[in-house]
Amino acid sequence: MSKRKPRRGGGLNAAHTRTLKQRVKTARGRKSSSTQWLQRQLNDPYVAAARRDGYRSRAAYKLAEIDDKFHILKPGARVVDLGAAPGGWTQIAVERTARADGGSPMAGSSPVAGSSHVVGIDLLPVDPIPGATCVQLDFRDETAPAALKTMLDGPADVVLSDMAASATGHKPTDHLRIMALCELALDFALDVLKPGGSFLAKVLQGGAERELMATLKRAFHQVRHVKPKASRSDSAEMYVLATGFKGTAVHKEAKP
Protein backbone atom coordinates (compact mmCIF):
# COMPACT_ATOMS: atom_id res chain seq x y z
CA MET A 1 0.00 0.00 0.00
CA SER A 2 1.42 3.39 -0.96
CA LYS A 3 1.97 5.99 1.73
CA ARG A 4 -0.07 9.17 1.67
CA LYS A 5 1.90 12.33 1.03
CA PRO A 6 0.66 15.92 1.31
CA ARG A 7 1.71 17.05 -2.20
CA ARG A 8 -0.37 20.18 -1.71
CA GLY A 9 -2.47 20.99 1.31
CA GLY A 10 0.19 20.03 3.85
CA GLY A 11 -1.96 20.76 6.93
CA LEU A 12 -3.78 18.16 8.96
CA ASN A 13 -7.52 17.61 8.73
CA ALA A 14 -9.92 16.59 11.48
CA ALA A 15 -9.26 12.90 10.88
CA HIS A 16 -5.60 13.42 11.70
CA THR A 17 -6.38 15.03 15.04
CA ARG A 18 -9.06 12.62 16.34
CA THR A 19 -6.74 10.56 18.53
CA LEU A 20 -7.13 9.54 22.15
CA LYS A 21 -4.88 11.52 24.45
CA GLN A 22 -2.18 9.33 25.94
CA ARG A 23 -0.73 9.87 29.38
CA VAL A 24 2.79 8.90 30.40
CA LYS A 25 3.59 7.89 33.93
CA THR A 26 6.74 9.41 35.41
CA ALA A 27 9.15 6.49 35.46
CA ARG A 28 11.72 6.11 38.21
CA GLY A 29 14.92 7.88 37.15
CA ARG A 30 13.21 9.95 34.44
CA LYS A 31 12.98 13.70 34.95
CA SER A 32 9.50 15.22 34.87
CA SER A 33 10.61 17.40 31.95
CA SER A 34 11.47 14.25 29.98
CA THR A 35 8.07 12.79 30.81
CA GLN A 36 6.35 15.97 29.63
CA TRP A 37 8.33 15.89 26.35
CA LEU A 38 7.44 12.23 25.79
CA GLN A 39 3.75 12.87 26.51
CA ARG A 40 3.73 15.81 24.10
CA GLN A 41 5.32 13.63 21.39
CA LEU A 42 2.79 10.84 21.92
CA ASN A 43 -0.13 13.28 21.64
CA ASP A 44 1.21 15.41 18.78
CA PRO A 45 -0.92 14.82 15.63
CA TYR A 46 1.98 15.91 13.39
CA VAL A 47 4.29 13.31 14.95
CA ALA A 48 1.65 10.64 14.30
CA ALA A 49 1.08 11.91 10.75
CA ALA A 50 4.83 11.87 10.02
CA ARG A 51 5.04 8.23 11.08
CA ARG A 52 2.02 7.34 8.94
CA ASP A 53 3.13 9.30 5.87
CA GLY A 54 6.74 8.18 6.00
CA TYR A 55 8.36 11.52 6.87
CA ARG A 56 11.45 11.64 9.02
CA SER A 57 10.22 14.51 11.19
CA ARG A 58 7.08 16.49 11.99
CA ALA A 59 8.92 19.51 10.58
CA ALA A 60 8.06 18.26 7.09
CA TYR A 61 4.55 19.68 7.55
CA LYS A 62 5.92 23.15 8.33
CA LEU A 63 7.59 23.37 4.93
CA ALA A 64 4.56 21.80 3.23
CA GLU A 65 2.24 24.44 4.75
CA ILE A 66 4.54 27.32 3.81
CA ASP A 67 4.86 26.03 0.25
CA ASP A 68 1.08 25.53 -0.02
CA LYS A 69 0.69 29.25 0.60
CA PHE A 70 3.70 30.77 -1.17
CA HIS A 71 4.63 28.17 -3.83
CA ILE A 72 8.40 28.47 -3.62
CA LEU A 73 9.07 24.81 -4.54
CA LYS A 74 8.28 24.60 -8.24
CA PRO A 75 8.73 21.55 -10.50
CA GLY A 76 12.33 21.32 -11.69
CA ALA A 77 13.63 23.85 -9.14
CA ARG A 78 17.13 23.44 -7.72
CA VAL A 79 16.91 23.38 -3.91
CA VAL A 80 19.47 23.23 -1.10
CA ASP A 81 18.42 22.28 2.42
CA LEU A 82 20.91 23.48 5.05
CA GLY A 83 21.07 21.49 8.27
CA ALA A 84 19.02 18.80 6.55
CA ALA A 85 19.16 16.03 9.18
CA PRO A 86 17.06 14.00 9.69
CA GLY A 87 15.64 14.84 6.25
CA GLY A 88 11.96 15.85 6.57
CA TRP A 89 12.37 19.12 4.66
CA THR A 90 14.49 17.40 2.01
CA GLN A 91 11.71 14.85 1.48
CA ILE A 92 9.15 17.62 0.91
CA ALA A 93 11.53 19.45 -1.44
CA VAL A 94 11.94 16.30 -3.55
CA GLU A 95 8.18 15.76 -3.79
CA ARG A 96 7.34 19.34 -4.64
CA THR A 97 10.09 19.83 -7.26
CA ALA A 98 9.81 16.44 -8.97
CA ARG A 99 9.23 16.68 -12.73
CA ALA A 100 7.19 14.24 -14.77
CA ASP A 101 9.77 14.38 -17.58
CA GLY A 102 12.41 12.71 -15.44
CA GLY A 103 14.43 15.87 -14.81
CA SER A 104 14.23 15.11 -11.10
CA PRO A 105 13.28 11.66 -9.77
CA MET A 106 9.92 11.29 -8.05
CA ALA A 107 10.01 10.50 -4.34
CA GLY A 108 10.23 6.76 -3.86
CA SER A 109 12.15 6.14 -7.08
CA SER A 110 15.86 5.45 -7.35
CA PRO A 111 17.94 8.60 -7.82
CA VAL A 112 19.77 8.84 -11.12
CA ALA A 113 23.39 10.02 -10.95
CA GLY A 114 23.62 13.69 -11.76
CA SER A 115 19.86 14.15 -12.04
CA SER A 116 19.00 15.33 -8.53
CA HIS A 117 17.93 18.95 -8.14
CA VAL A 118 17.68 18.74 -4.35
CA VAL A 119 20.75 18.72 -2.11
CA GLY A 120 20.61 18.23 1.66
CA ILE A 121 23.67 19.42 3.60
CA ASP A 122 24.46 18.69 7.24
CA LEU A 123 27.43 18.29 9.57
CA LEU A 124 25.85 14.96 10.53
CA PRO A 125 25.38 12.06 8.11
CA VAL A 126 21.89 11.91 6.56
CA ASP A 127 20.47 8.58 5.45
CA PRO A 128 19.92 8.51 1.67
CA ILE A 129 16.69 10.07 0.37
CA PRO A 130 15.50 8.94 -3.07
CA GLY A 131 15.59 11.86 -5.47
CA ALA A 132 18.03 13.92 -3.38
CA THR A 133 21.76 14.18 -2.87
CA CYS A 134 22.61 14.16 0.84
CA VAL A 135 26.13 15.23 1.76
CA GLN A 136 28.00 15.53 5.04
CA LEU A 137 29.51 18.98 4.66
CA ASP A 138 30.06 22.23 6.54
CA PHE A 139 28.26 24.81 4.39
CA ARG A 140 30.45 27.51 5.99
CA ASP A 141 33.51 26.09 4.24
CA GLU A 142 34.71 28.50 1.53
CA THR A 143 34.60 25.70 -1.05
CA ALA A 144 30.97 24.79 -0.27
CA PRO A 145 29.17 27.23 -2.65
CA ALA A 146 31.13 26.04 -5.69
CA ALA A 147 30.69 22.39 -4.67
CA LEU A 148 26.96 22.89 -4.29
CA LYS A 149 26.56 24.51 -7.72
CA THR A 150 28.36 21.52 -9.21
CA MET A 151 26.01 19.10 -7.45
CA LEU A 152 22.96 21.10 -8.59
CA ASP A 153 24.38 21.66 -12.07
CA GLY A 154 23.80 25.40 -11.63
CA PRO A 155 22.79 28.04 -9.06
CA ALA A 156 19.98 27.30 -6.60
CA ASP A 157 16.38 28.45 -6.96
CA VAL A 158 15.66 27.99 -3.25
CA VAL A 159 17.79 27.87 -0.11
CA LEU A 160 16.09 26.38 2.97
CA SER A 161 17.29 26.44 6.57
CA ASP A 162 15.46 24.88 9.50
CA MET A 163 18.62 25.00 11.60
CA ALA A 164 18.44 25.75 15.31
CA ALA A 165 21.14 25.77 17.97
CA SER A 166 20.55 23.71 21.10
CA ALA A 167 18.34 25.69 23.47
CA THR A 168 19.94 27.03 26.64
CA GLY A 169 16.68 28.11 28.27
CA HIS A 170 17.92 31.71 28.32
CA LYS A 171 15.76 33.48 25.74
CA PRO A 172 18.15 36.33 24.79
CA THR A 173 21.01 33.85 24.31
CA ASP A 174 18.85 31.44 22.29
CA HIS A 175 17.65 34.31 20.11
CA LEU A 176 21.22 35.44 19.37
CA ARG A 177 22.35 31.91 18.56
CA ILE A 178 19.53 31.15 16.14
CA MET A 179 19.89 34.56 14.48
CA ALA A 180 23.61 33.87 13.99
CA LEU A 181 22.70 30.64 12.17
CA CYS A 182 20.18 32.53 10.04
CA GLU A 183 22.83 35.10 9.09
CA LEU A 184 25.26 32.33 8.10
CA ALA A 185 22.55 30.67 6.01
CA LEU A 186 21.78 33.98 4.30
CA ASP A 187 25.45 34.59 3.59
CA PHE A 188 25.57 31.19 1.88
CA ALA A 189 22.31 31.86 0.01
CA LEU A 190 23.66 35.10 -1.45
CA ASP A 191 26.52 33.08 -2.93
CA VAL A 192 24.44 30.31 -4.52
CA LEU A 193 20.99 31.70 -5.44
CA LYS A 194 20.00 32.62 -8.96
CA PRO A 195 18.10 35.87 -9.69
CA GLY A 196 14.47 35.47 -8.64
CA GLY A 197 15.36 32.82 -6.07
CA SER A 198 13.93 32.36 -2.57
CA PHE A 199 15.35 32.03 0.95
CA LEU A 200 13.47 30.48 3.89
CA ALA A 201 15.02 30.25 7.35
CA LYS A 202 14.02 29.71 10.97
CA VAL A 203 14.13 32.64 13.39
CA LEU A 204 12.55 33.22 16.81
CA GLN A 205 9.42 35.21 17.62
CA GLY A 206 10.13 38.87 17.88
CA GLY A 207 11.33 38.82 14.30
CA ALA A 208 14.69 39.01 12.65
CA GLU A 209 17.32 41.44 13.83
CA ARG A 210 17.24 44.89 12.23
CA GLU A 211 20.55 44.38 10.40
CA LEU A 212 19.45 41.03 8.99
CA MET A 213 16.11 42.43 7.84
CA ALA A 214 17.87 45.35 6.17
CA THR A 215 20.15 42.92 4.33
CA LEU A 216 17.20 40.81 3.21
CA LYS A 217 15.30 43.84 1.94
CA ARG A 218 18.31 44.99 -0.07
CA ALA A 219 18.83 41.55 -1.61
CA PHE A 220 15.21 40.44 -2.21
CA HIS A 221 12.09 42.08 -3.58
CA GLN A 222 9.79 40.81 -0.81
CA VAL A 223 10.46 39.76 2.80
CA ARG A 224 7.87 38.45 5.27
CA HIS A 225 7.56 36.50 8.52
CA VAL A 226 5.47 33.32 8.53
CA LYS A 227 4.43 30.87 11.25
CA PRO A 228 2.89 27.61 9.94
CA LYS A 229 0.26 25.81 11.99
CA ALA A 230 2.64 22.87 12.35
CA SER A 231 4.87 25.04 14.56
CA ARG A 232 3.84 24.32 18.13
CA SER A 233 1.70 27.07 19.60
CA ASP A 234 3.96 27.34 22.65
CA SER A 235 7.08 27.64 20.49
CA ALA A 236 8.73 30.99 19.75
CA GLU A 237 9.93 29.76 16.37
CA MET A 238 8.80 31.34 13.13
CA TYR A 239 10.31 31.72 9.67
CA VAL A 240 11.57 34.54 7.51
CA LEU A 241 10.73 34.13 3.82
CA ALA A 242 12.51 36.26 1.24
CA THR A 243 11.50 35.96 -2.42
CA GLY A 244 12.67 37.54 -5.66
CA PHE A 245 16.45 37.55 -5.20
CA LYS A 246 17.81 40.61 -7.01
CA GLY A 247 20.96 38.82 -8.15
CA THR A 248 24.69 39.34 -8.16
CA ALA A 249 24.40 43.09 -8.83
CA VAL A 250 23.55 43.59 -5.14
CA HIS A 251 25.46 40.60 -3.88
CA LYS A 252 28.45 42.29 -2.22
CA GLU A 253 26.62 45.20 -0.65
CA ALA A 254 23.75 43.01 0.56
CA LYS A 255 25.87 40.47 2.44
CA PRO A 256 25.68 40.87 6.25
C-alpha–C-alpha distance, residues 109 and 17, integer Å:
30
User: Does residue 86 have a cis bond before it (omega within 30 degrees)?
Assistant: yes
Helix axes 88-97, 60-70, angle to 10 degrees: 30
Q: Residues 6 or more apart from 181 whose CB is under 8 A from it?
A: 83, 161, 163, 164, 165, 201, 202
> Residue 105, Cα to own-chain centre: how many angstroms?
20
* Count of beta carbons in the 10 Å neighbourhood of residue 102: 11
User: 62, 202, 229, 246: which one is catalytic?
Assistant: 202
Instruction: Mark whether 25 is an active-site residue.
Output: no
Contact 98, 130 (CB under 8 A): no
At 180, which helix (H) or strand (E)?
Answer: helix 171-192
Q: What are the two backbone dihedrals, phi and then psi, of residue 59, each rounded to the nearest 5 degrees?
A: -60, -20
> Active-site residues: which are they?
202
